[in-house]
Amino acid sequence: MSNLISVIMPVRNAEPWIKECLESIQAQSLTNWELIVVDDHSDDNSLEITQSASVEDKRIRALSNDGSGIIQALEKAIKSSSGTWITRMDADDIMPPNKLDLLLKTLDSSKTSVSTGKVEYFSEDVITEGYRTYEAWINQRVEAQDHDQWIYRECTIAGANWMTHRDNLKWGDLKYPEDYDLVFHWYKIGCSIICVDQVTHQWRDHAARTSKNSQNYKQKAFFKLKINRFIEMDMDNSKSLFILGDNRKSKLASEILKEGDIEFKVIGKDDIDLLGPHLEAQVLVAVFPPLFERNQIRKFLSYNRFQEGVNWWWL
């Protein structure tokens, strides 16, 4: 079946939510899918719930992780899958009924693209301002279709809100946070990001989320990953490197650059005039002020022949 979709799902201690998640997958308008669940040593009933579902629905397979951690669980899921098209799901989230259909149609059989859509947080508690801000930001990327331009700012695609050809996946070499590193992998191999202007993923916020409790998903881990990927993919050794802004972000970036023996200079926002039109340089902008000030920074850099996403980036 050339259009079979493999849904890969790592699971660890998701008993409170996994039944609802499974039901949302089974309710998909597109029915040509398989679900490969890899349990990562849960000490609750997550595996048993999935095994029970697999008896009733042969499209579901329940496996156990041979190693440890999300990356190895995902790697086993991929190796155990047979679909041409791959998407990831998280066991505490929900698929809107037309998610698989929308993402597959958006790909339009392209083997060199990744499809994604908008996200929507939900919770039994109040959604924090930070998560609402990220929800709005990631949805803006869908509307503008400018993911590559912002790649060093944040993870531009939600970890369980994409679909692509199986040849575009390479879990074994990824670093944590793996969802962000996968986006870097797509950036490196030149995948185009094509978007659905609809919500294709419902993201559950709760206190036990892995991203809230694992060191693999703390700010320092994100910075270590993105600075190292910048060094690998976009840094030009023939040009001077500047970090604009003197704050926690610039300090984290500085630590990682120093570890790699990379020469750079940190300048305050008030010293932006040092970035003149004749300067052969790259700039990581570590400040993120209100929109008016951001536009002033953009205007200045553009006037001085810097191009966003080419030789300067938001950090």
**What's the rounded mean pLDDT across residues 154-170?**
97
State yes or no: pLDDT of 90 exceeds 50. Answer: yes
Least confident stretch, 6-10, 77-81, 205-209: 205-209
pLDDT on residue 171: 74
74 lies in the same domain as 46: yes
State yes or no: pLDDT of 165 exceeds 70. Answer: yes
The C-alpha atoms of residue 118 and residue 115 are separated, in whole angstroms, by 11
Supply the DSSP string of the chain, one letter for each residue.
Answer: -TTPEEEEEEESS-TTTHHHHHHHHHT-S---EEEEEEE-S-SSSHHHHHHHHHHH-TTEEEEE-SSSSHHHHHHHHHHH---SEEEE--TTSB--TTHHHHHHHHHTT-TTEEEEEEEEEE-SSPPPHHHHHHHHHHHHHHHHT-TGGGTTTS--S-TTSEEEEGGG--GGG--SSHHHHHHHHHHHHTPEEEEEEEEEEEEEP-TT-HHHH-GGGSHHHHHHHHHHHHHHHT--TTSEEEEE--SHHHHHHHHHHHHTT---EEE-GGGGGGS-TT--EEEEE-----HHHHHHHHHHHHHTT--BTTTEEE-
pLDDT on residue 213: 47
Percent of the chain with pLDDT over 90: 89
Neighbouring residues of 132: CB distance < 8 A, sequence distance ≥ 6:
121
Domain-terminating residue out of 168, 185, 215: 215
255 lies in the same domain as 142: no
- Please, what is the average pLDDT of the chain? 94
In this structure, is residue 261 part of a structural domain?
yes
70 lies in the same domain as 176: yes
In this structure, is residue 225 part of a structural domain?
no
Confidence of residue 126 (pLDDT cuts 50, 70, 90): confident
In this structure, is residue 224 part of a structural domain?
no
98 lies in the same domain as 204: yes
- Short-list 179, 209, 215, CA closest to 17: 209
The C-alpha atoms of residue 45 and residue 100 are separated, in whole angstroms, by 27
Number of domains comprising the chain: 2
124 lies in the same domain as 248: no
249 lies in the same domain as 299: yes
137 lies in the same domain as 248: no
In this structure, is residue 222 part of a structural domain?
no
pLDDT, tens digit (0-9, with 9 covering 90-100), for 193-228: 999 999 999 999 866 555 544 565 578 999 999 999
pLDDT on residue 212: 47
The C-alpha atoms of residue 22 and residue 210 are separated, in whole angstroms, by 19
In this structure, is residue 227 part of a structural domain?
no
Domain-terminating residue out of 165, 184, 215: 215
pLDDT on residue 206: 60
45 lies in the same domain as 128: yes
Least confident stretch, 79-93, 123-137, 168-182, 202-216: 202-216
Whole-prediction pTM? 0.94
Neighbouring residues of 23: CB distance < 8 A, sequence distance ≥ 6:
none
Q: CA 107, 108, 109, 112: dihedral to nearest 10 degrees?
A: -40
Domain-terminating residue out of 215, 246, 277: 215
pLDDT on residue 211: 55
294 lies in the same domain as 151: no
Percent of the chain with pLDDT over 70: 96
The C-alpha atoms of residue 277 and residue 285 are separated, in whole angstroms, by 17
Angle between helices 248-259 and 219-233 (to 10 degrees): 50
| The pair of three-digit structure tokens given for residue 242, joined into one six-digit string | 């500047």
14 lies in the same domain as 156: yes
State yes or no: pLDDT of 237 exceeds 60. Answer: yes
197 lies in the same domain as 131: yes
* Distance, first Cα to last Cα, the chain: 43
In this structure, is residue 228 part of a structural domain?
no
With 0-12 CB in 10 A as exposed, 13-18 as middle and 19+ as buried, what is 203? Answer: buried
pLDDT, tens digit (0-9, with 9 covering 90-100), for 99-108: 999 999 999 9
| The pair of three-digit structure tokens given for residue 244, joined into one six-digit string | 């604009």
**What's the rounded mean pLDDT across residues 269-283?**
90
In this structure, is residue 308 part of a structural domain?
yes
At 293, which CATH number? 3.40.50
At 102, which CATH number? 3.90.550.10
pLDDT, tens digit (0-9, with 9 covering 90-100), for 248-266: 999 999 999 999 999 999 9
The whole domain housing 263 covers 235-314
Contact present, 278 and 305 (Cβ < 8 Å): no
Confidence of residue 71 (pLDDT cuts 50, 70, 90): very high
pLDDT on residue 172: 76
User: From the CB of residue 57, how many other CB atoms can be counted at a distance below 10 Å?
Assistant: 12
In this structure, is residue 13 part of a structural domain?
yes
Confidence of residue 23 (pLDDT cuts 50, 70, 90): very high
37 lies in the same domain as 176: yes
